[in-house]
Structure 1
C-alpha cells in the first residue's frame, strides 16, 4: 500500500505516541484525522490534522471518526502499571473492539492495534517470539492487552479489512512519561532507584523507530500478523538509567533490592492517598522496571525489513534537546 494521500485516523492523537505518529504521517504526505478525549484541539489542528473529540467506547463517535478513512492506528489506551481491571477492560478491550468494528463497517482497509510486549508478563523466556507464551500476571494492563488481541484477530478479513498488531517495547523519546519524564523528575528529587543492581533488559524503542515499523507493516499489508518492535539493543536497566541521569547532569541513581523498593513505594502511595495526592509512581512499576530478558524482533526484521534508524545514543541526544526547552513538570499534572 502506498501511504501517499491516504487518510489515517489516529485514536489518542493527543498522547505521546499518537502525536508523533501524526507529525510523521503528515510529513509523509498522509491526511490525518484524530480522535481524542481531551477537548483542547488547538495543538493537533495546528499540525494540519482534523480532530474529533469523544470516547473510543462511544459507537456513534467511532463510526463518525472512521468515515472516509483508509487506515486506523489505534493508540488510545490506559497505560498505568496497575488499577481497576474493570476500568482497564472498558478502554483497552471494549473500546478497542468498538473502534475495530466501526472501522470494518466503514470500509476501512487497515486497522493497526498498538499492543505491548507486556502481554508476555514479567517472567518470560529470553528472546521470546510473537508466539508466546503470554501471561496476564494478575496485572490489569498485561491482562487487558492480551484480551484485546484475542478479540481483534478474528475480525481480520483481508483484502476487505486487515488487522495488524504491534507489540511495542518500552517507548522512549520526547514526551515519554514512564521512561523519560517520570524517572527524571524523581531523580531531580533524589528519589529514584533501580532494582536489583539494574540487572535485566530494558527493551527500549525510540518513538520514531516504532512509527517507522508501523508504517512498514501498513505498506507491506502484513494482515493478521503480530510484531514485537524494540530497538533490538540489549541495554541493561542500569545502563539506561545511568545514561538518563548523566544526560541531565544528575547524580547516578542507587540500586535497591526489589522487595525493598516495592515496600517503599507502597508506603509512599498510601501516604499520597491519605493526603489525596495523585500517585506519581505505583509499587507495581518495579515489576515493569526489572524484566529479565530481550524480546525477539527477528520477525519484524525478516518480514518488514525493519532496521531501527535511531540508536540509544542518538535517541538520548534528541530527548536531551527536547528536555532543555520543556517544563516536564507540566506533563504529569
Structure 2
C-alpha cells in the first residue's frame, strides 16, 4: 500500500504515541485526523490535523471519526499499572472494539491496533515469539490487552478490512511518561531506585522506531498478523536507569530488593492518600520494571524488513534535548 495521500485516523492523537505518529505521518504526506478525549484541539490543528473530540467508547463519535478514512491507528488506551479492571475493560477492550467495528462499517481498509508485549505477563521465556503463551499475571492492564486482541482478530477480513496487531515494547523518547518523565522526576527528588540490582532486560523501543514498524506493516499489508516490536537491543534495567541518571546529571540510583521496594511504595501511596494526593507511582510498577527477558522481533525483521534506525544512545540524546527545553513536571497528571 502506498500511504501517500491516504487519510489516517489516529485515536489518542493528544497522547505520547499518537502525537508522534501524527507528526511522522504528516511528514510522509499522509492526511491525518485525530480523535482525542481532551478539548484542547489547537496543538494538533497547528500540526495540520483535523481533530474530533470525544470518547472512543461513544458509538456515534466512533462512526463520525471513521467516515472517509482509509486507515485507523488505534493508540488510545488506559496504561496505568493497576486499578479496577472494569475501568481498563471499558477503554482497552470495549473502546478498541467500538472503534474497530465503526471503522469496518465505514469502509476503512486498514486497522492497526497498538497492543503491548505485556500480553506475555511478567514471567515469560527468553526471546518469546508471537506464538508464545499469553499471561495476565493478575494485572488488569495485561488482562485487558489480551482480551482486546482476542475480540479484534476475528474482525480481520481483507481485502475489505485488514487488521494488524503491534505488540510494542517499552516505548520511550520525548514525552514518555513511564520510562522518561516519572523516573527523572523521582531522580530529582532523590527517591529513585531500581530493583534486584537491575537484573533482566529493558525492552526499550524508541518512539520513531515504533512508528516506522507501523508504517512498514501498513505498506506490506500484513493483515491478520501480530508483531513484537522493540529496538532489539540487550539492555539491562540497571544499564538503562544508570544512563538515564547520567543524562539528567543525577547521582547513580541505588538498588533495592524487589519486595522492599514494593513495601516502600505501598507505604508512600498510603501517605499520599492521607493528604488526598494521587499516587505518583504504584507498587505494581515494580513488576513492570523487573521483567527478566528479551522478546523476539525476528518475525518483524523477516516479514517487514524491520530494522530499528535509532539506537539507545541516539534515542537518549534526542530525549535529553527535549527534556532540557520542557517542564516535565507539567506532564504528570
Indicate the residue corresponding to 2:321 in structure 1.
321
Corresponding position of 1:295: 295
What is the distance in 2 between the residues matched to 1:138 and 1:72?
Answer: 30
Match of 1:148 in 2: 148
Distance 2:155 2:267 in 1: 44
- 1: CA distance between counterparts of 2:234 and 2:71? 33
- Partners of 1:5 and 1:84 in 2: CA distance: 41
How far residue 20 of structure 1 moved from its aligned partner, in angstroms, is 0.1
Equivalent residue number for residue 109 of structure 1? 109
Counterpart-to-counterpart distance in 2, 1:114 and 1:7:
18
Cα deviation per residue 1:76-123 (whole Å; 9 max; x = unaligned)? 000000011000000000000000000000000000000000000000
Residue by residue, what CA displacement relative to the aligned partner does 1:254-283 show, whole Å, maximum 9, x if unpaired? Answer: 000000000000111111111110110000
How far is the alpha carbon of 1:178 from its aligned partner?
A: 0.1
Distance 2:36 2:218 in 1: 22
2: distance between equivalents of 1:297 and 1:3? 24
Measure the CA separation in 1 of the matches of 2:91 and 2:257: 34
Runs of 4+ in 1 over 3 A off after TM superposition: none
Displacement of 1:132: 1.7
| Rounded Cα–Cα distance in structure 2 between residues aligned with 1:55 and 1:234 | 38
Matches within 5 A, 1:160-239: 160-239=160-239
Q: Distance in 1 between matches of 2:178 and 2:318?
A: 17
**For residues 75 and 39 of structure 1, what CA distance do their matches in structure 2 show?**
18
* Structure 2 residue 68 is matched with structure 1 residue 68: yes
Q: Equivalents in 2 of 1:148, 1:247: separation in Å?
A: 37
Between the aligned partners of 2:329 and 2:206, the Cα distance in structure 1 is 22
> Residues of 1 paired with 2:143 and 2:274: CA distance?
29
Scaled by the length of structure 1, what TM-score is found?
A: 1.00
- After superposition, residues 1-333 of structure 1 pair within 5 angstroms as 1-333=1-333
- Between the aligned partners of 1:328 and 1:231, the Cα distance in structure 2 is 24
Q: Secondary structure at the match of 1:299?
A: helix
Give the TM-score normalised by structure 2: 1.00
The offset of 1:202, in angstroms, is 0.4
Distance 2:52 2:298 in 1: 37
CA drift of 1:141 comes to: 0.1
SS in 1 for 2:112: strand
Name the SS of the counterpart of 1:235 in structure 2. coil
Which string of whole-angstrom CA distances, capped at 9 and with x for unpartnered residues, describes residues 203-251 of structure 1? 0000000000000000000000000000000100000000000011100
Counterparts of 2:234 and 2:141, CA distance in 1: 24
* Structure 1 residues 191-212: Cα deviation after superposition (integer angstroms, max 9, x where no partner): 0000000000000000000000
Whole-angstrom CA distance in 2 between matches of 1:173 and 1:300: 21
Q: How far apart in 1 are the matches of 2:48 and 2:102?
A: 24
Once the two structures are TM-superposed, the CA of residue 293 in structure 1 deviates from its matched residue by 0.0
Provide the aligned length of Structure 1 versus Structure 2.
333
Give the root-mean-square deviation of aligned CA atoms.
Answer: 0.4
Structure 2 residue runs of 5 or longer lacking an equivalent are none
